[in-house]
Structure 1
Amino acid sequence: MTIYVLQKLGYALLTLFGVVTIIFILFTILPGDPARMMLGQNETAEQLAVVKKKYGFDQPVSVQYIRYLNDLSPISFHSENPEDYTFLKEGKYTATKLFSIGNTTTVLKFPYLRESFQKNGKEVSEVIVETLPNTFVLAVSAIIIAMVIGVILGILSVLFKDGIIDKMIQLLSTLGMSIPSFFSAIIFAWIFGFLLHEYTNLNMTGSLYEVDDFGNGKYIQWKNLILPAVVLGIRPLAVVSQLMRNSLLEVLDQDYIRTAKAKGLSYYKIITRHALKNSLNPVVTAISGWFASMLAGAVFVEYIFGWNGLGKEIVNALNTLDLPVIMGAVLVIASLFILINIFVDIVYGWLDPKISRQ
């Protein structure tokens, strides 16, 4: 089991290294001169030189790449020469000094995601800390909706197999999987937030926290969570209902179910007491993967509903060419995706030792 865990962690590190490399290439080399993006259209040659020197843009691409890896690494090396690039000389970022050799200091720190181009030098990590919890709340809510309703619809499909209810659920599931989330978001916002606002009391846009009109600070507005969570949960809900239906039908064909039927148990008791638990394994597997992907899939849903999460921040950063925010957000989402999948693999290996020996 220990070797299995180490292998999975090794694969995770290699995958993360590949993700970091791709992100660096896409957002550092291809877009053009980041110093010009930071300063805008009215920059002077002197301003460009100062910015390039401060952020290390005046160095070859290979040197910039090594410095980017060094900034992301928990254990990193920094020059004490005031002429060399290092974020430590600004005095904004806390790091624990381990030891020094010559002019090089080794420090222990959290990964440094650099500073925003458009937020007056605000650190990208602060932007992510402020917005990621809202995205996490949205993703968890969407998963709960998808899990509960999807399982119920899957059971109903089996109870009314090949009937009108089963066919309607299959049709809705197909539509749910095929319609893009951003299109569903527009439709739901228009219908339930505009046309039916008098009955639903739901807003077309709104985030988890709203500012009180009388100056009493922020307060949580839970109703703003309903529409984006439902929209984000539509696609996994459709997948869960299909998986639940197929898995439950497969379990109902097994021998121990026939034995239960022969003993005279009702169809309801057979499903709830015997078949349901064993049918949930593929559903749980799908949900674990969907949760990680929802952090990325929430981008357009958050933007359309005005939900102040990491997805909306990514869209705003793309509109303003705030490359450090884009790079940091994509890297955090990719890291969470990798960690969740590795955690699920390790749990499966612990539950089923045969997997860890393969």
Structure 2
Amino acid sequence: MLSYILQKIGYAILTLFGVTTVIFLLFNILPGDPAQMMLGQNESEEQLKAVRAKYGFDQSLTRQYFYYLNDLSPVSFHSENPKDYTYLTEEKYNAVPLFSIGNTEVAFKTPYLRESFQKSGKKVSSVIAETLPNTFVLAVSAIVIALLIGIFLGIISALNKDSALDKAIQVLSTLGMSVPSFFSAILFAWFFGYVLHEYTQLEMTGSLYELDDFGEENTLQLKNLILPALVLGIRPLAVVIQLMRNSLLEVMQQDYIRTARAKGLSTRQIVVKHALKNALNPVITAISGWFASMLAGAVFVEYIFGWNGLGKEIVDALNTLDLPIIMGAVLIIALMFIIINIFVDIIYGWLDPRIANT
């Protein structure tokens, strides 16, 4: 099992390196001068030169790439020249110097995602730290809704195969997979937040924390989580229903299930004690991918509902061409996708030890 885990971690590191390279190349071959994006239209040539030197924009693409890797690496190399981009400063790098090699200082630090172009030099890591928890809460809530309802309806559908109830559940799940999230968000916001507002007391827009009526402090507004979580959970809910139904039907045909029936166990006992664990394998595998993709898919849902999460921040950054925030957000989402997949692979190996031994 240990070698299986180490193998997955090795694959994850290679995948993360590839994603980092793609992100850098994608956003650095785009037309436009990053220095001008930062300064706007009132810049002077001297200001442009200073910004390019400060952020390494005046270097070759290859050197900028290694600067980027160096910024992201926990163990990084820094020049002792104050004019060099990699010069170690407290306001730029939260680092602990380790030792020196000639004119190069080696330090241990938290990954540096650089600074926002539009937020007065605010660190991208600070922007992500402020918005990612809201997106995480939204994604977890959506997944919980999808799992609880989806597994239940999938079991009901499998146990009532080809009945009217089964067909109704299948129609609903197919409809859920076919409707785009942004359309569902608009429909839910209008219907439950506007048409039925008097009965639901739900708002069309709102975030997890909002200023009180006096504008003095943020207050927790859990009711604002209901609509975006439901909308974000619709598509994975439909997938869970289908997977759970098909997987359970397949498991129920196995020999050990027939043996359990012959021993006189009830259908409930067979499903709960014997069939459910094995039937959950494909559900767990699929839901891991859905959870990571929801961090990216939450972009439109958060924007429509005014949810102050990473998705809404990405849309705002795209509108203002704030490339560091976009790059940092995409990288964090990719990292979470990789971590989640490692975690799920480990769970999958625990559920089926044959996988870990192959």
TM-score under structure 2 length normalisation: 0.94
Matches of 1:217 and 1:87, distance apart in 2: 39
**C-alpha spacing 1:354/1:264, structure 2 compared with 1 (3 Å):** closer
Partner of 1:312: 312
Amino acid of the structure 1 residue aligned with 2:228: P
**C-alpha spacing 1:251/1:78, structure 2 compared with 1 (3 Å):** same
How far apart are 1:269 and its partner, in Å? 4.4
Matches of 1:132 and 1:173, distance apart in 2: 29
Partner of 1:41: 41
Matches of 2:117 and 2:330, distance apart in 1: 16
Output one character per residue of 1:220-268: Cα deviation in whole Å (capped at 9) or x when no partner: 1000000110111111100110111111212222233334444555444
Output one character per residue of 1:291-348: Cα deviation in whole Å (capped at 9) or x when no partner: 2221111111111111111111111100000000000010011011011112222343
Matches within 5 A, 1:331-346: 331-346=331-346
Are positions 1:221 and 2:209 aligned together?
Answer: no
Matches of 1:269 and 1:75, distance apart in 2: 54
**C-alpha spacing 1:164/1:336, structure 2 compared with 1 (3 Å):** same
CA contact (8 A) 2:240 2:283 kept: yes
Amino acid of the structure 1 residue aligned with 2:79: S
How far apart are 1:216 and its partner, in Å? 4.5
Matches of 1:20 and 1:274, distance apart in 2: 43
Partner of 1:166: 166
Identity %: 75
CA contact (8 A) 2:209 2:219 kept: yes
CA contact (8 A) 1:300 1:311 kept: yes
**C-alpha spacing 1:350/1:158, structure 2 compared with 1 (3 Å):** closer
Partner of 1:201: 201
**C-alpha spacing 1:195/1:63, structure 2 compared with 1 (3 Å):** same
Partner of 1:303: 303
Output one character per residue of 1:96-145: Cα deviation in whole Å (capped at 9) or x when no partner: 00012332111100110000001111000000111111111111100100
Matches of 1:59 and 1:319, distance apart in 2: 27
Matches of 1:37 and 1:99, distance apart in 2: 37
- Helix, strand or coil at the partner of 2:89: helix
Moved more, 65-74 or 256-265: 256-265
Partner of 1:275: 275
Output one character per residue of 1:30-54: Cα deviation in whole Å (capped at 9) or x when no partner: 2421111111222221211111111
- Helix, strand or coil at the partner of 2:219: strand
**C-alpha spacing 1:229/1:320, structure 2 compared with 1 (3 Å):** same
Partner of 2:184: 184
Matches within 5 A, 1:244-259: 244-259=244-259
CA contact (8 A) 2:157 2:245 kept: yes
Contiguous gaps of at least 5 residues in structure 2: none
Matches of 1:163 and 1:351, distance apart in 2: 31
TM-score under structure 1 length normalisation: 0.94
CA contact (8 A) 2:299 2:315 kept: yes
Residue-pair matches, total: 358
Partner of 1:9: 9
**C-alpha spacing 1:8/1:101, structure 2 compared with 1 (3 Å):** same
Matches of 2:284 and 2:28, distance apart in 1: 38
Matches of 1:253 and 1:89, distance apart in 2: 65
Moved more, 323-332 or 277-286: 277-286
Output one character per residue of 1:137-156: Cα deviation in whole Å (capped at 9) or x when no partner: 11110010000110111122
CA contact (8 A) 2:158 2:248 kept: yes
**C-alpha spacing 1:63/1:92, structure 2 compared with 1 (3 Å):** closer
Matches of 1:273 and 1:8, distance apart in 2: 30
Partner of 1:292: 292
- Helix, strand or coil at the partner of 1:325: helix
**C-alpha spacing 1:239/1:247, structure 2 compared with 1 (3 Å):** same
- Helix, strand or coil at the partner of 1:121: coil
**C-alpha spacing 1:4/1:121, structure 2 compared with 1 (3 Å):** same
How far apart are 1:82 and its partner, in Å? 1.6
Matches of 1:314 and 1:294, distance apart in 2: 14
Matches of 1:251 and 1:44, distance apart in 2: 70
Q: RMSD of the TM alignment (CA)?
A: 1.8
- Helix, strand or coil at the partner of 2:107: strand
Amino acid of the structure 2 residue aligned with 1:189: A
Amino acid of the structure 1 residue aligned with 2:293: S
How far apart are 1:276 and its partner, in Å? 3.1
CA contact (8 A) 1:87 1:93 kept: no
How far apart are 1:59 and its partner, in Å? 0.8
- Helix, strand or coil at the partner of 2:223: helix
How far apart are 1:278 and its partner, in Å? 3.3
- Helix, strand or coil at the partner of 1:89: coil
Are positions 1:136 and 2:136 aligned together?
Answer: yes
Partner of 1:100: 100
**C-alpha spacing 1:11/1:269, structure 2 compared with 1 (3 Å):** closer
Matches of 1:223 and 1:128, distance apart in 2: 24
Amino acid of the structure 2 residue aligned with 1:191: F
Amino acid of the structure 2 residue aligned with 1:187: L
How far apart are 1:349 and its partner, in Å? 3.4
**C-alpha spacing 1:92/1:83, structure 2 compared with 1 (3 Å):** closer
Partner of 1:57: 57
Partner of 1:29: 29
Contiguous gaps of at least 5 residues in structure 1: none
- Helix, strand or coil at the partner of 1:97: strand
**C-alpha spacing 1:277/1:352, structure 2 compared with 1 (3 Å):** closer
Amino acid of the structure 2 residue aligned with 1:349: G
**C-alpha spacing 1:90/1:29, structure 2 compared with 1 (3 Å):** farther
